[in-house]
């Protein structure tokens, strides 16, 4: 039944601009395809998107399935799901990767439910490997390992879909590294003709307002992040001040976001942004797996926590056991003096 | 016109309550040390359904799948104004991933009969997958509106909903019936009503009867207790796999396409680390070192 082991990537575009995470997934797809000896296929939907397939090929696709139709101009669940479900059913991809954006998180579960396949959300790593089912006494070769923090973000689970195809996973932006495009790459463009049903148009978009991001955590060279230990708004103000002084961005753990100290755009971790700064300062962050998944590749980590046993200290290069209200002002003061 | 809403809710461990006591030094979590709570965004979904009922009339039915203890969130729903609650409980449902969960929920929704709206939280805090809502909508064959923040209008068989994301909003119009996944910024869920708390205090599923009898031995027998509860609409409906029109191969762990290959308790690799004293001298030394290594400019 399985014809090939191709890796499909849903390429999300908005007004002709391709989402970063889609390009990151094309790079990851290339890596997985090399292991499997297969190809990377991209699926892109939109209207008047004739320029996009070439860009997608340069970023790593071997084959582009493009559905260009006025009804696909703005993302809507049902028309997109109709086109892609039909493609999955007729071509049976081995793996299907989707960016965990608001669009991807709306679309991927709908697709997985329609074709009845397994889906793992917010993976922090993807690998190829074997899986032996003890119950069946069967070994499945070359499955997609869908790796993500689980159980409240405190352990790392490797999930597999042994029997259903495609093996579907979503990945947050910034988790995978994006390769430089290769202008000499060639690939096949295949135009797809949508076959909609009347009920696909049950929903109409009346208006839409999308603003540019004001927080640029992913590419920041310095991140100063506050956590549950900084729930005093004054402490959080110190976090902001220190970030400003270092020319960096303000980050936050989920606890700080849930406590309403700062907006979700600042969240670092599996369900937030993955960062790789030159310097990461964790202020009052205990360091759950969920958080560490988003920052453990930082070049240098300074952790400040009043609890000497906080897990964050185990990955920190510099440990400061102390009270934020004292340590942060000291850092700020010393940096100011140095700047004079 | 009246609208009939079904709210899908989940009881979850309160992962926000992770503190030093719950976390071990290795970074693992003692799940049993966490309180079980009503998934926060499911409370927002319930609140939205209750407001629809207050403005337009109709009913609010709350459905959950879980062990007997999950009856607690159903009582919480009754205290807030739900008209009817149903517990889906069966060992056959256990270990379900989002695919098997949405299959079971969709079958239960179908058994409940005609509805206008299905509402649930955007995601549950124990997994954050946000998958069950859309997967259930697909199985029911209805459109979905994820990230729903407010209802701009509800007229005849048409709803206008504002969706809210980190980076913007969208206003959409949709035909009923449809499924909404509701975000935390949608509303402030009402607290439990004191009057209803008294009214529904005894609401129970049959598996809880022995516990109730211990507390109120005057009922004498489970049968007498059941009759008392049934007469007062305090018997929480429970459905097992046998009550639903299901293919048992699609339930629970066995019906889940995803399987856990392995779970790693993360052993943290101690980075080569230096202890810095929280003193002016300590901090000055740290900054000098960072400057020397070109980490700080």
B296 pLDDT more than 90: no
Tokens matching residue A324: 């934020």
Give domain status of residue B285, yes or no.
Answer: no
Q: Do B18 and A77 touch (CB under 8 A)?
A: no
Distance from CA of A65 to the nearest CA of B (A): 24
Q: Note whether B268 contacts A315, CB cutoff 8 Å.
A: yes
**B28: which 2 tokens?**
């693992």
CB contact under 8 A, B29 and A155: yes
B263 against B66, higher pLDDT: B66
User: What pLDDT does A318 receive?
Assistant: 95
3-state secondary structure of B63: strand
Beta bridge partners of A65: A43, A190
Domain-embedded: residue B297: no
Min Cα–Cα distance to chain A from B168, Å: 4
Q: Are residues A120 and A269 in the same domain?
A: no
Residues near B1 by Cβ (< 8 Å), separated by ≥ 6? Answer: B56, B57, B156
Does the residue A210 lie in any domain?
Answer: no
Q: CA nearest B196: which of B49, B85, B286, B64?
A: B85
Q: Per the CB < 8 Å rule, is B264 touching A317?
A: no
- The verdict on a CB contact (< 8 Å) between A114 and B18 is no
Which domain-ending residue is among A169, A201, A233?
A201
Q: Which residues contact A93 (CB under 8 A, 6 or more apart)?
A: A6, A7, A8, A41, A165, A166
For residue A70, the enclosing domain spans 7-201
Q: What is the pLDDT of residue A118?
A: 97
Is B223 contained in some domain? no
Give the whole-angstrom CA distance, residue B120 versus residue B134: 10
| Phi-psi map region of A76: left, alpha, beta (phi>0 left; psi -120 to 50 alpha) | beta
- Would A138 be classed as within a structural domain? yes
Determine, yes or no, domain membership for A182: yes
Give contacts of B 260-279 with A, CB under 8 A.
Answer: 260-266, 268-279
CB of A207 within 8 Å of any CB in chain B?
yes
The shortest C-alpha distance from A186 to chain B (Å) reads 35
Of the two residues A88 and B233, the one the predictor is more confident about is: A88
Report yes or no: B82 and B53 within 8 Å, Cβ to Cβ. Answer: no
Q: Please determine, for residue B18, whether its predicted confidence score (pLDDT) is greater than 60.
A: no
Do residues A227 and A193 share a domain?
Answer: no
Q: Do A243 and A303 reside in the same domain of the chain? A: yes
Contacts of A108 in chain B (CB under 8 A): 131
The confidence score (pLDDT) of residue B188 equals 97
Model pLDDT for residues B251-270, shown as the tens digit of each residue: 999 999 999 998 887 666 66
Under 8 Å CB pairs connecting chains A and B tally to 248
Q: Are residues A254 and A324 in the same domain?
A: yes
Show the tokens assigned to A242.
């220190």
The domain that holds B190 is classified in CATH as 3.40.50.620
What percent of chain B is predicted at pLDDT more than 90? Answer: 80
Which residue stretches of chain A have pLDDT < 70? 1-3, 151-154
Closest Cβ opposite residue A106 in set B34, B146, B260: B146
Same domain as A195, residue A74: yes
Q: Pairing state of beta strands B237-239 and B84-88?
A: parallel
Question: What pLDDT, on the 0 to 100 scale, is given for residue A3?
Answer: 60
- What is the CATH classification number for the domain harbouring A321? 3.40.50.1220
Q: d(Cα A50, Cα A13) in Å, to the nearest integer?
A: 12
Interface test with A, best of B265, B278, B284 (most A CBs within 10 A): B278
* Among chain B residues, CA nearest to A322: B278
Q: Answer yes or no: do A305 and A335 share one domain.
A: yes
B276 closest CB neighbour out of A247, A263, A319:
A319
Residue B39 forms contact with A (CB below 8 Å): no
Does B100 reside within a domain? yes
Task: In whole angstroms, give the CA distance from residue A72 to residue A20.
Answer: 20
| Rounded alpha-carbon distances, angstroms, from residue A124 to A156, A225, A273, A297, A301 | 9, 20, 11, 12, 20
A83 found inside a domain = yes
Using CB atoms, which residue from B13, B18, B264 is nearest to A288?
A: B18
Q: How far apart are CA A257 and CA B237, in angstroms?
A: 38
**A176 and A281 within one domain:** no
DSSP string, A262-307: S-GGGBBSTTSB----SEEEEES----HHHHTTTTT-SEEEEEES-
Does any domain span residue B191? yes
pLDDT value at B28 more than 70: no
Same domain, A87 and A119: yes
Place of tokens 């849903």: A10
Domain that holds residue B108: 3-201+236-255
Whether the Cβ atoms of residue A286 and residue A303 lie closer than 8 Å to each other: no
Q: What is the pLDDT of residue B98?
A: 97
- Do A235 and A118 have their domain in common? no
Q: Domain check: are A98 and A194 in the same one?
A: yes
Q: Would residue B268 count as lying in a domain?
A: no
User: Domain check: are A44 and A133 in the same one?
Assistant: yes
Report yes or no: A65 and A41 within 8 Å, Cβ to Cβ: yes
User: Nearest residue of B to residue A287 by CA position?
Assistant: B27
Above 50 in pLDDT, residue B65? yes
CB contact under 8 A, B287 and A335: yes
Percentage, residues of chain B above pLDDT 70: 92
3-class DSSP assignment, residue A31: helix
- Structure confidence at residue B25 as a pLDDT band (50, 70, 90): very low
B contacts of A334 (beta carbons < 8 Å): 280, 283-284, 287
Helices A324-339 and B280-292 pack at an angle, to 10 degrees, of 50
- B 140-199 near A (Cβ less than 8 A): 143-147, 160, 165-175, 178
Please tell me the predicted confidence (pLDDT) of residue A153: 65
Report the CATH number at residue A117: 3.40.50.620
Structure tokens at B175: 């035909």
Largest CA distance in chain B: 80
Same domain, A118 and A267: no
Tokens of A279: 């310097």
Q: Is residue B126 part of a domain?
A: yes
Interchain CB contact of A204 with B (< 8 Å) = yes
How many structural domains are present in chain A?
Answer: 2
- Inspect the interface and report whether the beta carbons of A151 and B31 lie closer than 8 Å: yes
Stretch B95-113: mean pLDDT, rounded?
Answer: 97
User: Any CB–CB contact under 8 A between B15 and chain A?
Assistant: yes
Residue B26 pLDDT > 80, yes or no?
A: no
Q: Which pLDDT value is given to residue A213?
A: 82
Domain presence at residue A216: no
Among A167, A201, A235, residue at a domain's last position: A201
Where is the domain boundary, A151, A171, A201? A201
Q: Pairing relation of β-strands A249-252 and B158-165?
A: unpaired
In a domain, A57, yes or no: yes
CA distance B142 to B128: 23
Q: Residue B69, Cβ neighbours under 10 Å: how many?
A: 13
Over residues B72-80, mean pLDDT: 97
pLDDT digits (tens, 9 = 90+) for B154-174: 999 999 999 999 889 999 999
Residue B27 is predicted with a pLDDT of 42
Interface check for A224 against chain B (CB to CB < 8 A): the answer is no
Segment B234-254 mean pLDDT: 96
| Contact between residue B257 and residue B99 where contact means Cβ atoms under 8 Å apart | yes
Chain B stretch 90-129, residues whose beta carbon is closer than 8 A to a beta carbon of chain A: 97-99, 102, 126-129
> What pLDDT sits at residue B16?
66
Chain B, 42 to 101: residues with Cβ < 8 Å from chain A are: 97-99
Question: B281 and chain A: CB distance < 8 Å anywhere?
Answer: no
Which two three-digit tokens encode residue A36?
């499997």
| Structural domain count, chain B | 1
Angstrom distance (rounded) from CA B286 to CA B190: 50
Query: What chain A residue is nearest to B132 in terms of C-alpha separation?
Result: A109
> Alpha-carbon dihedral of residues B104, B105, B111, B116, nearest 10 degrees?
-150
Top-confidence residue, B271 or A244: A244
A321 forms beta bridges with A305
Q: Give the closest-approach CA distance of B117 to chain A in angstroms.
A: 14
């Amino acid at each position: 039944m399985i014809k090939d082991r191709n890796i499909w990537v849903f390429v999300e575009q908005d007004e002709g601009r391709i989402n970063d995470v889609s390009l990151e997934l094309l790079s990851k797809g290339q890596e997985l395809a090399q292991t499997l000896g297969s190809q990377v296929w991209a699926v892109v939907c939109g209207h008047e998107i004739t320029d996009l397939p070439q860009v997608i090929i340069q970023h790593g696709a071997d084959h582009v399935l493009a559905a260009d139709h006025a009804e696909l101009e703005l993302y809507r669940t049902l028309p997109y799901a109709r086109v892609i479900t039909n493609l999955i059913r007729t071509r049976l991809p081995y793996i299907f990767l989707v960016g965990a954006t608001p669009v991807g998180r709306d679309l991927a579960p709908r697709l997985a439910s329609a074709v009845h396949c397994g889906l793992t959300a917010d993976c922090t790593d993807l690998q190829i490997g074997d899986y032996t089912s003890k119950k069946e006494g069967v070994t499945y070769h070359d499955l997609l390992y869908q790796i993500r923090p689980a159980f409240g973000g405190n352990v790392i689970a490797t999930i597999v879909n042994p029997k259903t195809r495609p093996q579907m996973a979503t990945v947050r932006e910034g988790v995978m590294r994006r390769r430089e495009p290769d202008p000499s790459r060639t690939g096949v463009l295949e135009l797809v003709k949508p076959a909609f049903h009347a009920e696909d148009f049950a929903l109409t978009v009346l208006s839409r307002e999308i603003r540019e991001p004001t927080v640029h955590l992913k590419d920041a060279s310095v991140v100063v992040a506050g956590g549950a230990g900084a729930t005093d708004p004054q402490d959080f103000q110190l976090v902001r001040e220190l970030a400003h002084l270092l020319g960096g961005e303000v980050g936050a753990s989920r606890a700080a976001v849930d406590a309403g100290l700062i907006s979700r755009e600042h969240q670092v971790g599996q369900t937030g942004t993955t960062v790789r700064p030159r310097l990461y300062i964790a202020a009052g962050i205990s360091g759950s797996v969920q958080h560490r998944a988003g920052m453990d590749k930082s070049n240098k980590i300074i952790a400040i926590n009043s609890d000497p046993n906080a897990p964050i200290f185990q990955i920190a290069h510099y440990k400061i056991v102390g009270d934020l209200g004292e340590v942060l002002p000291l850092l700020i003061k010393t940096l100011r003096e140095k700047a004079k | 016109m009246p609208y009939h809403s079904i709210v899908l809710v989940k009881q979850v461990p309160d992962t926000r309550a992770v503190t030093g006591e719950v976390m071990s030094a290795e970074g693992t979590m003692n799940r049993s040390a966490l309180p079980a709570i009503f998934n926060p965004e499911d409370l927002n979904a319930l609140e939205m359904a209750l407001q629809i009922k207050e403005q337009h009339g109709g009913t609010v039915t709350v459905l959950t799948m879980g062990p007997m203890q999950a009856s607690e969130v159903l009582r919480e729903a009754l205290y807030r104004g739900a008209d009817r609650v149903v517990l889906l409980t069966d060992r056959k449902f256990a270990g379900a991933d989002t695919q098997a969960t949405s299959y079971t929920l969709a079958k239960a929704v179908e058994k409940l009969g005609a509805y206008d709206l299905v509402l649930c939280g955007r995601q549950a805090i124990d997994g954050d997958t946000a998958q069950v809502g859309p997967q259930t909508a697909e199985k029911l064959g209805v459109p979905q509106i994820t990230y729903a923040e407010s209802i701009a209008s509800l007229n005849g068989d048409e709803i206008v909903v504002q969706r809210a994301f980190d980076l913007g909003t969208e206003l959409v119009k949709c035909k009923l019936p449809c499924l909404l996944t509701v975000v935390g910024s949608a509303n402030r869920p009402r607290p439990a009503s004191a009057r209803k708390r008294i009214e529904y205090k005894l609401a129970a599923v049959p598996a809880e009867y022995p516990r109730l009898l211990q507390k109120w031995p005057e009922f004498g027998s489970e049968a007498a207790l059941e009759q008392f509860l049934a007469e007062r609409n305090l018997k929480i409906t429970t459905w097992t796999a046998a009550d639903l029109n299901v293919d048992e191969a699609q339930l629970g762990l066995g019906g889940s396409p995803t399987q856990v290959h392995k779970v790693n308790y993360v052993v943290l690799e101690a980075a080569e680390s230096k202890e810095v004293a929280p003193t002016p001298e300590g901090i000055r030394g740290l900054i000098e070192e960072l400057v020397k290594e070109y980490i700080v400019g």
